[in-house]
Amino acid sequence: MRIDITSLCFGFKITKENDSGTPAWATSIGQAPKGVCYIETSRPGLDNLVYGMMYNAHSDFSELKVRGIPGIEKKEEPRGDRERMMFSVFKRVFVNGKLVDGWYTLTYERENTESHKNRIHICYAKYITYKGHSNKETLRNMAQVLECTEDACWFVTDISVVDQTELHFTAIVVNPYKNEVYSSSQVRKQVWEALVPDLHVPNVINPTYRPYITAAKSKPFLLLAGISGTGKSRIVRELARACWDMDSEEYSAQNLRNFEIVQVKPNWHDSSELIGYVSRVGVKPSFVAGDFLKFVAKAWENPDIPHFLCLDEMNLAPVEQYFAEYLSVIESRRRHEDGTVKTDPILKKNKEDWYRVLTDELTTSGELRMQFLNEGITLPENLIVVGTVNMDETTFSFSRKVLDRAMTIEMNKVDLTSGLANRFEPIGKLSCAELVGTKVEGVDVYEENREVCDTVIAYLQAVNDCLDGTPFKIGYRTRNESLLYVVNNLPYRNDGEEEGVVIARALDEITNMKILPRIEGDETKVSREFLASLGDTIANGLEKVSGKKYADHTASDNDTVLSISMAKLTEMTIRLGMGYTSFWS
CATH 3.40.50.300 domain range(s) in the chain: 200-438
Q: Which pLDDT score is estimated for 46?
A: 82
Q: Which long-range contacts (CB under 8 A, 24 or more apart) does 267-274 make?
A: 267/317, 268/316, 268/317, 268/321, 268/322, 269/317, 269/318, 269/321, 269/322, 270/321, 270/322, 271/322, 271/323, 271/324, 271/325, 273/322, 274/322, 274/323
Q: For 474-486, how does the pLDDT look when each residue is reduced to its tens digit (9 = 90+)?
A: 999 999 999 999 9
Look at residue 96 and tell me whether its pLDDT is greater than 50. yes
**H/E segment holding residue 65:** strand 64-66
Q: Which pLDDT score is estimated for 35?
A: 46
The one-letter amino acid code at 471 reads P
Cβ(33)–Cβ(26) under 8 Å?
no
Of residues 72 and 443, the one with the higher pLDDT is 443
Residues facing residue 76 across a β-bridge: 83
* Most confident range, picked from 53-67, 142-156, 190-204: 142-156
For the full predicted model, state whether its pTM sits above 0.75.
no
- Closest Cα to residue 194, out of 157, 229, 222? 157
Phi, psi of 202 (to 5 degrees): -75, 25
Q: Which pLDDT score is estimated for 67?
A: 72
C-alpha 297/C-alpha 291 separation (Å) is 10
Q: For 266-277, how does the pLDDT look when each residue is reduced to its tens digit (9 = 90+)?
A: 999 999 999 999
* 200-438 is a CATH 3.50.50.60 domain: no
Q: For 136-149, how does the pLDDT look when each residue is reduced to its tens digit (9 = 90+)?
A: 999 999 999 999 99
Residue 270 burial class via C-beta count within 10 angstroms: exposed 0-12, middle 13-18, buried 19 and up:
middle
Look at residue 12 and tell me whether its pLDDT is greater than 70. yes
Q: How far is CA 85 from its chain centroid?
A: 31
Residues facing residue 86 across a β-bridge: 108
